[in-house]
Amino acid sequence: KKSFQGPFRACHDIVKPHDFYRNCLADLCLSNGARSILCQVLETYAATCQKHGAVVHDWRTPSGC
């Protein structure tokens, strides 16, 4: 099984990132890659992970949010 790295590694099995990734990609394309959109999507994913009991490590620093 592939091991995920990064701040959301404990969450991927609990909350699948696929839909968040797809929505984020679409939003970033529509906004010419605005960082605020990226940060908003990551924040929503982090909150969803935490709501489901997953540990989320610091994601703001590596993503620049």
In a domain, 1, yes or no: no
The answer to the question of residue 31 being in a domain is: yes
Whether the per-residue pLDDT at 57 is higher than 90: the answer is yes
Residue 36's domain comprises: 17-63
38 lies in some domain: yes
Residue 23 inside a domain? The answer is yes
What's this model's pTM, rounded to 2 decimal places? 0.79
Angle between helices 35-51 and 18-30 (to 10 degrees): 160
Number of domains in the chain: 1
Domain presence at residue 53 = yes
- The mean pLDDT value for 24-39 works out to 86
